[in-house]
Amino acid sequence: MTASFTRKRSAHLVLGLALVCAPLAHAGKPTLDDGNVRISSNENAFGFTPKALERMRDALDSGNYYNGNEVAEMVRLCAAYEGVKEEFILPTAGSGPVLMMTAWSYAKPGKNVVTTETGYGQLTRAFADHGGDVITVPLAENMGYDLKALGRAISENTAIVYICNPNNPTGVIADPAELRRFIMAVPPSVLVFVDEAYLELSDTGLQANTMAPLVKVRKNLIISRTFSKAHGMAGLRAGYGVAHPEVLANLRKFYAGGPSYLAAIAAQEAIKDKAHMEANRQKYKEVRDYVCSQFDRMGIKYASPQGAFIYFNAGMKRNQIVTKLRDAKIVIGGVRGGVESPDGGGDWTRVSLGTREEMDMFLTELSKILGKT
């Protein structure tokens, strides 16, 4: 007992020192230690709750054990957060697995997923890889989802309608009443997937916009939630799906494991620390408003942003902007500095929101590239 206590204490001391001395790439630091400003993957530059760090530090030297009650407690808290029973929650390592498992369990030749032309591609790519078809409709004029067009695209072969709200990459949020009406009108044979990865960061917040309560009345609905964005835990990997247990049973056939015990502990603290989340939401709002005001000043068009990024049109092809910014050590458009579409870009570019300092560096370089200084 005493020996194990001593071992634990000294392990904490060593780890504590290591954490203090290590060059931290995250937790609000404006740049990575490789000297690049990374505003490419909608990561949270403001960092996660210090309470999660504290509890993970305490738990680190229990890594020789499998997860005990950590994930179960995370599920309990997630269910309370969503206002549903625990069997409506499927805990995962980030929300990506919810998208993948849904694609894998619903895709087959002859079946299709209906979505928008410019959107997040993880689910649709996996659906196509597993033999299904992807049907896309153009964005609405405001670059949000055109729900009427989505509705018209649904046929007897449709397995899933995928909606990302706010949409990635455009950032536009749906009107909650309209989205609710849409969901209620979709035929019960079609699963509506609402990806709410960025919803907590919107101006009006999660409660006013989430579709999660509808899972209690619609069996053909699934919501994905992540700790990667508003909660700032992208590297830790925690997320979950919210749906009727019958839907989750389909996904479970492809379940490859949930979050690690450390990620589950961090997720618990993230849910409990409402003040941290609210502070993060405010920081995003401030930086979003700031970049928009600078874009206005520079005459740059942008779609109304409600997430962790802004979609803008600066009158120059995306490839060019991405490449020139990369030369200045500012990485946008994918972690690998990649360009998202094979057609050489297009007129619209997405920049993730980082700290005010990071955004100033981005704006200064963008001004130079556009010859505006």
Ligand X SMILES: Cc1ncc(COP(=O)(O)O)c(C=O)c1O
Give the binding site for ligand X (CB under 6 A).
42, 94-96, 120, 164, 168, 195, 197, 226, 228, 234, 239
Of 158 and 168, CB closest to ligand X:
168
Q: How far is the CB of 125 from ligand X (least distance, A)?
A: 12
CB 198 within 8 Å of CB 308: yes
Of 164 and 339, CB closest to ligand X:
164
Of 240 and 312, CB closest to ligand X:
240
Q: How far is the CB of 365 from ligand X (least distance, A)?
A: 23
Amino acid (one-letter) located at 31: T
Q: How far is the CB of 210 from ligand X (least distance, A)?
A: 15
How many Cα atoms are found within 13 Å in the side-chain-facing hemisphere of 88? 26
Of 31 and 124, CB closest to ligand X:
124
Q: How far is the CB of 39 from ligand X (least distance, A)?
A: 13
Of 195 and 365, CB closest to ligand X:
195
Q: For ligand X, which residue has the nearest CB?
A: 94
- CA–CA separation, 167 vs 195, rounded Å? 9
Of 251 and 369, CB closest to ligand X:
251
Beta strands in the chain (DSSP E): 37-38, 89-92, 112-116, 133-137, 158-164, 191-195, 221-226, 239-243, 301-302, 309-313, 330-331, 349-352
CB 61 within 8 Å of CB 206: no
> The tokens of 32 are what?
């990575």
CB proximity list for 196: less than 8 A, separation 6 or greater: 165, 206, 209, 210, 211, 212, 223, 224, 225
Of 206 and 234, CB closest to ligand X:
234
Q: How far is the CB of 236 from ligand X (least distance, A)?
A: 9
Q: How far is the CB of 110 from ligand X (least distance, A)?
A: 26
Q: Which residue has the tokens 């029973």?
A: 85
Q: How far is the CB of 97 from ligand X (least distance, A)?
A: 7
- CA–CA separation, 180 vs 213, rounded Å? 10
CB 332 within 8 Å of CB 308: no
